Structure 1
Amino acid sequence: MKATIVTIGDEILIGQIIDTNSGYIAKALDRIGVQTHELLSISDNKQHILETFEKLQNKVDFVIITGGLGPTKDDITKHTFCEYFNDSLVVNYEVQAHVIELIEKVMKRPASQINKDQALVPSNCQVLFNKVGTAPGMWMKKENTVYISLPGVPYEMKYIVENEIIPKIVKEYERPYILHKTIMTYGQGESLVAERIEDWENNLPEFIKLAYLPSPGRVRLRLTARGKDKELLETTINNKVESLAKIIGDIIVGFDEDETIAVVIGRLLIQNKNTLAVAESCTGGKIAQELTAVAGASNYFRGGVVSYATETKVSMLGVLEETITQHSVVSGEVAKEMAIGVQKRMKSDYAIATTGNAGPDKGDADATVGTVFIAIATPSEVFVEEFDFGQPREKVIDRAVNKAFEMLQKEILKNV
């Protein structure tokens, strides 16, 4: 089964807000075997909406629309539905009672006529009840295509998707199974990974597809299996992952799309009963940010120092001024002293330190833009590596963060 997701709103087209609704809906549909065929964003224009409806008619099973529902006059989706389905608006008294109760009992003010008009829906639509807001969803079918309208407010949209739409599709439609398995790799680029697994990829069955999803410092390999026999899909995809691990096990760090390397490192630290601290210069706190984004990080992350200025490296981390004078602030020697300094200050088992020139200017250092030194302090030693991450600035920072995690993970694994 196929679906097209349509977001309505000029605010999306001019970049005023970012569409996050489509991604959420697509993931929810994928879980139940409905493939998202297309994502569209269109303007708050009745003719544009009608043309989009007509274009999608009988091309997909579901057209799911977000936006254009609400109490204001520029919310036109309901009126457009009426025109497309040759219908008229009527009051749904269950929705109206809910709207009045929400406004008067929860928001503590009288419900206006504009609020009450939220209960107007096309007479032939199936109402998708919105318990967390005032705008109901709508479900209408024309020939072979179901049109579903949802409010654009994310938490309202999510409520209706999870409590109304997904259960309804599961109950009323027979769907294929869609299974995904994501393999997280770090440390090698897309082309090198593809070269290593070429024979393995060529021998995948037709019902399993492989996608490469590269980003700085890592490549996600996503296997997607589609079919009617769920047991066959699960067995085959698991066997393929096992055989893949024998080929590139040295760079695999996890098997979950949402499991970042920061999560993997946290699990390893907890397993070994170790702690970690960071001293960041060119990465500006981004390593600490990714670590603390993981629930339970307080069990192993002691803290960090963002020693951006040269004098902070000296005063906070104990980097020697003569080291800076002799080797430059962007150097392996300084990175090592930073790592040792934060390790001692935070009393941690491991420490990461970064110093580099992310650009666009050289700053206090003579190092070429893109040069980064990353030091790792372990319970028994400290070592440093030099990298040239090129440009632009954002790329340098992202690659430095990922490389630091990769280096740390390798060291922790030596003691597992």
Structure 2
Amino acid sequence: MKAEIITIGDELLNGQVVDTNSAWIAQHLGALHIPVVHITSISDKEHAIKNALRQAEERVDVIIMTGGLGPTRDDVTKVAVADYFGTTLIRNQAVLAHVEKIFRRAGRKNMPAMNIGQADVLANATVLFNDVGTAPGMAVERDGKYFAFLPGVPFEMKFLMENRVLPVLRDSYKSNVFVYNTYLLTVGIGESHLAEQIADIENALPPFITLSYLPKIGMVRLRFTGEGSDIETLTSITDSFKKQVMERVKDYVVSTDNRSFEEVLVQTFTASGVTLSTAESCTGGRISAQITAVTGASQMFQGAAVVYSNQAKMDVLRVSPDTLAQYGAVSEQTVKEMAEGAKRVFGTDYAIATSGIAGPGGGTETKPVGTVCIAVAGRSETRTQTFHFKNDRAINIERTVVAGLTMLWNILK
């Protein structure tokens, strides 16, 4: 049992909108052991829609199409799909009443004529009633294949998937092949060095287990994927290889599941009953933003000081004017005082401080663009380190965030 996702919209192709629907759908299909083997983005054109459906029907069993169900002239999905299936559109009175009710609830007495067309559905389809929007979904089953046509608006798509599509797939399209995914998150080791260290283990993997490297700046997530008909045996064998890798690179492993680095930090701090604050200059609050984006961060995060100017460093964190004059804002001496000042101001057990030249300007011969200093103050010591990144401002900031969190993790361990 395999699936394909087709997303419709010129806005996806020209980069105006990022396709988050496919990732969400793929995750939920994966939970049903229905792997997505193809994701296609196409324009709002009838021929593109019909060609995509034809190709998908040849290679997979489940086709999920999103987008193009709105009321405007460029929403041509229903017309194209009706032609593809050799059927017509009929007006569904229950859907029409629902759309009219939504307009009355919004205080609009006259509903535009174009919205009436949203009640038109495929004559051969099962209507997927949309409680949270005006565009209904539709499902068609043909020759053992399942087609679902859903709105592109993310919250409407998710509602229909969770309440209309996934229950059908769960009951009627169960796969005989199970897909089991398990993860390791490593920090502080590059992808090539990691691959070199575990090459013999990777070479010993049986054909039904694959290992994928999912790198980001400063970290690599490993995904072990096993496919087989016996889920218990599959889980046991896959986990045994995961344990081998985990033991080999244990100094770099921060998570044995699919959590983010920030989630691991928040949960570790919370479980240990310790607290954190930040003092940020070149990162401009990015570290605190990533920490507080995690549910439960309020249990361990106390506050942040974004101190961009020297005056702010002195006024808020009591960084010594002599330190700034002698060593400069971008120095290990200054970030040490910043981190210890944040600990004192916010009353925390740990604090991270950053100061650097993110670029593209501001560098000097002795401190070129990309020079960043980070300090982490812990319960009994403060560690400092200077990094030399490159010339891209956004990447320098991202690298600084990861480096700071990695230093925090190391001192916490």
TM range (shorter): over 0.9
**8 Å contact kept, 1:357–1:365:** no
| 2:4 pairs with 1:4 | yes
Q: How does 1:44-123 map to 2 (within 5 A)?
A: 44-105=44-105, 109-123=109-123
| 2:107 pairs with 1:131 | no
Matched to 1:58, the amino acid is: E
Where 2:58 maps in the other structure, the secondary structure is: coil
Where 1:283 maps in the other structure, the secondary structure is: coil
In 1, the alpha carbon distance for the partners of 2:222 and 2:107 equals 48
Partner in structure 1 of residue 182 of structure 2: 181
Residue 285 of structure 1, CA deviation: 0.7
In 2, the alpha carbon distance for the partners of 1:410 and 1:13 equals 42
Residue 109 of structure 1, CA deviation: 3.6
Q: How does 1:252-291 map to 2 (within 5 A)?
A: 252-257=253-258, 259-291=259-291
TM-score, L = length of structure 2: 0.94
**8 Å contact kept, 1:58–1:143:** no
In 1, the alpha carbon distance for the partners of 2:17 and 2:77 equals 19
Relative to structure 1, the CA distance from residue 270 to residue 282 in structure 2 (aligned partners, 3 Å threshold; closer, same or farther) is same
Relative to structure 1, the CA distance from residue 245 to residue 56 in structure 2 (aligned partners, 3 Å threshold; closer, same or farther) is closer
Matched to 1:240, the amino acid is: F
**8 Å contact kept, 1:179–1:224:** yes
**8 Å contact kept, 2:3–2:37:** yes
**Is 153-162 or 268-277 further displaced after alignment?**
268-277
In 2, the alpha carbon distance for the partners of 1:299 and 1:216 equals 27
| 2:227 pairs with 1:229 | no
Residue 112 of structure 1, CA deviation: 4.8
Where 1:181 maps in the other structure, the secondary structure is: strand
Partner in structure 2 of residue 337 of structure 1: 337
Residue 263 of structure 1, CA deviation: 1.9
**8 Å contact kept, 2:50–2:80:** yes
Partner in structure 1 of residue 347 of structure 2: 347
In 2, the alpha carbon distance for the partners of 1:15 and 1:56 equals 24
Report percent identity of matched pairs. 41
In 1, the alpha carbon distance for the partners of 2:281 and 2:156 equals 42
In 2, the alpha carbon distance for the partners of 1:5 and 1:261 equals 29
In 2, the alpha carbon distance for the partners of 1:371 and 1:118 equals 57
Partner in structure 2 of residue 391 of structure 1: 391
Residue 6 of structure 1, CA deviation: 1.2
Partner in structure 2 of residue 29 of structure 1: 29
Structure 1: state its 5+ residue gaps: none
In 2, the alpha carbon distance for the partners of 1:232 and 1:311 equals 63
In 2, the alpha carbon distance for the partners of 1:251 and 1:381 equals 22
Residue 241 of structure 1, CA deviation: 2.2
1:112-133 per-position Cα deviation (integer Å, ceiling 9, x unaligned): 5433332211211122221211
1:364-384 per-position Cα deviation (integer Å, ceiling 9, x unaligned): 995111111111111222221
In 1, the alpha carbon distance for the partners of 2:151 and 2:284 equals 39
Structure 2: state its 5+ residue gaps: none
**8 Å contact kept, 1:369–1:390:** yes
Residue 386 of structure 1, CA deviation: 1.3
Residue 151 of structure 1, CA deviation: 0.8
Where 1:383 maps in the other structure, the secondary structure is: strand
Residue 233 of structure 1, CA deviation: 1.7
**8 Å contact kept, 1:329–1:365:** no
Aligned residues: 412
Residue 312 of structure 1, CA deviation: 1.3
| 2:203 pairs with 1:205 | no
Partner in structure 1 of residue 148 of structure 2: 148
Matched to 2:201, the amino acid is: W
In 2, the alpha carbon distance for the partners of 1:202 and 1:107 equals 65
Where 1:57 maps in the other structure, the secondary structure is: helix
| 2:30 pairs with 1:38 | no
Q: How does 1:313-332 map to 2 (within 5 A)?
A: 313-332=313-332
Partner in structure 2 of residue 214 of structure 1: 215
Relative to structure 1, the CA distance from residue 260 to residue 54 in structure 2 (aligned partners, 3 Å threshold; closer, same or farther) is closer
Partner in structure 2 of residue 369 of structure 1: 369
**Is 240-249 or 100-109 further displaced after alignment?**
100-109
**8 Å contact kept, 1:4–1:38:** yes
In 1, the alpha carbon distance for the partners of 2:268 and 2:82 equals 57
Residue 95 of structure 1, CA deviation: 2.3
TM-score, L = length of structure 1: 0.94
Where 2:215 maps in the other structure, the secondary structure is: strand
1:293-349 per-position Cα deviation (integer Å, ceiling 9, x unaligned): 112222221111111112211221111122122112211111111111111111111
Matched to 1:20, the amino acid is: T
